[in-house]
Structure 1
């Protein structure tokens, strides 16, 4: 009886401390030579442990099926004296209701990631202080992943995580590392979180909600209605485009969704796609060759 009680206690502790991310981490080192590759393997493991074992919210219990599937892919461009310059690709997905399909949510490429890492140093999460640029970058994108996922399930459901990401970025601004301050580059962390926190770009977050809850999530039961609602989400993005043309968030949306949108409107029950194609071409002209595949 005592053993059974202890097992129950252990299981309760494990559940209470369960974390929010189910992250895959990989590191490409093809561009660096004549170095001990073990440091990269150790770094990869520490990043994996950090992302999967850190609590990024105050939620007490996170079930396994509630964890957000994501990947952090590092390309090491330069390594010297414990200093890293890398390109970071962050992706996340979420399941679609009543199906085996998983839909991409974000697909972000950050080319301004540099940090110093001493092998086996502790990576400790603290949104209110700057301990290392590696920790700040990982924490920032972990919260962006969680915010984007939450926004697909409820209208502006990710606000808590965006506020945390904004705080992390604000604290990191004085560090001197690139990506945290406003520059001529549109695609950096500063601009990403500034736009996500701005009421001007609420339409982006609204579009995420409509696209997934009213669109993809109903398609198992009603394909035509789902397609119409996805068209409505694209209209919402067009309204944003009229106010802020060529915005970073519009590009962020289509970096994740272009191929899926083509697939959605190229199969199943026929609806009038002429207006949808025109809207897509207006918002994202760089993808016009793909929009032309929609019939």
Structure 2
């Protein structure tokens, strides 16, 4: 019996340790291009899915049901001589405790995406060596996704992953590709991870944890308390707003959360929506139409 159990244990252990971090779908949309049906686009899509999902990005052991759900949608606007230009939309989500609901965590569009790629070339990430802009951008967003997800489960849980993303930025700054520089007016990859690691925006990480772990995750068991926590969490953004008006991270949060917040407060136990809407209109006025749908 012991000899039988040992190989079974080894197989199960191997499966557990080999489980990767992401359950992601990468889509390459070439429909805008006149040569959009070329095989290279499908090859690129397959290679990117393997790169994101089969690489081991951390030292953590993820169970299959712990893998982070994500989508990366690359829309190409130009292709010529192995040079690609376009944008990439990154979306991630996580399940809410005791529900079948997936809450959006990160929803971001990066319009400064260009790279070179030769069909069938291997995509290899080395944390100590910048190999290509394609690999750099994809690795950067993998770590941002992992960091955002970890922030929702433990206070400042994403810091180690944001530091890995920052390493990519540092390596990429010696290139001519857009999105990595700390100069210019456009918000970019440099600014995003710099803000995520800055003490100036410490309340953002508290908000991510409180909103998800202390708010959403208890809604099923205690709807009233969960709503009160979520409503209180919105006050944290006021501190950031006073310090840094129109902060990048505030916009990032509400890009992902505006519709969900509206839905949370659309029915069930009442909270003081007068003060809530006042806070929301102050910290996220771009989403005023969503806040107008929250009824008194």
TM-score by length of 1: 0.96
Q: Residue by residue, what CA displacement relative to the aligned partner does 1:54-84 show, whole Å, maximum 9, x if unpaired?
A: 111111x210111000000010111100100
Check 1:172–1:267 CA distance in 2 against 1; reply closer, same or farther (3 A cut): same
**Which range is displaced more, 26-35 or 210-219?**
26-35
Contact 2:75 / 2:88 at 8 angstroms: preserved in 1? Answer: yes
Q: CA deviation at 1:119?
A: 0.6
For residue 173 of structure 2, give the secondary structure of its aligned residue in structure 1. helix
For residue 128 of structure 2, give the secondary structure of its aligned residue in structure 1. coil
Q: Residue by residue, what CA displacement relative to the aligned partner does 1:2-56 show, whole Å, maximum 9, x if unpaired?
A: 9997676455333322210000111211110135521000100000001100111
What's 1:152 paired with?
Answer: 152
Q: Residue by residue, what CA displacement relative to the aligned partner does 1:173-217 show, whole Å, maximum 9, x if unpaired?
A: 101110000132342001001100100011111110010011100
Q: Distance in 2 between matches of 1:186 and 1:150?
A: 27
**Which range is displaced more, 8-17 or 200-209?**
8-17
Q: Residue by residue, what CA displacement relative to the aligned partner does 1:241-272 show, whole Å, maximum 9, x if unpaired?
A: 11111011000000000000000111111111
5+ residue gaps, structure 1, are: none
Aligned ranges 1:1-295 → 2 under 5 Å = 9-34=10-35, 36-59=37-60, 61-295=61-295
Q: Distance in 2 between matches of 1:160 and 1:113?
A: 25
**Which range is displaced more, 246-255 or 11-20?**
11-20
Q: Distance in 1 between matches of 2:51 and 2:207?
A: 31
Aligned residues: 294
Q: Distance in 2 between matches of 1:217 and 1:282?
A: 26
Q: Distance in 2 between matches of 1:233 and 1:293?
A: 19
Check 1:25–1:35 CA distance in 2 against 1; reply closer, same or farther (3 A cut): closer
Q: Distance in 1 between matches of 2:267 and 2:101?
A: 15
Contact 2:281 / 2:288 at 8 angstroms: preserved in 1? Answer: yes
Contact 2:30 / 2:36 at 8 angstroms: preserved in 1? Answer: no
For residue 90 of structure 2, give the secondary structure of its aligned residue in structure 1. strand
Q: Distance in 1 between matches of 2:198 and 2:283?
A: 19
Q: Distance in 1 between matches of 2:65 and 2:153?
A: 14
Contact 1:77 / 1:85 at 8 angstroms: preserved in 2? Answer: yes
5+ residue gaps, structure 2, are: none
Q: Distance in 2 between matches of 1:134 and 1:42?
A: 14
Contact 2:30 / 2:37 at 8 angstroms: preserved in 1? Answer: no
Q: Distance in 2 between matches of 1:152 and 1:4?
A: 37
For residue 152 of structure 2, give the secondary structure of its aligned residue in structure 1. helix
Superposed CA RMSD in Å reads 1.6
Q: Distance in 2 between matches of 1:10 and 1:209?
A: 35
Q: Distance in 2 between matches of 1:46 and 1:282?
A: 44
For residue 77 of structure 1, give the secondary structure of its aligned residue in structure 2. strand
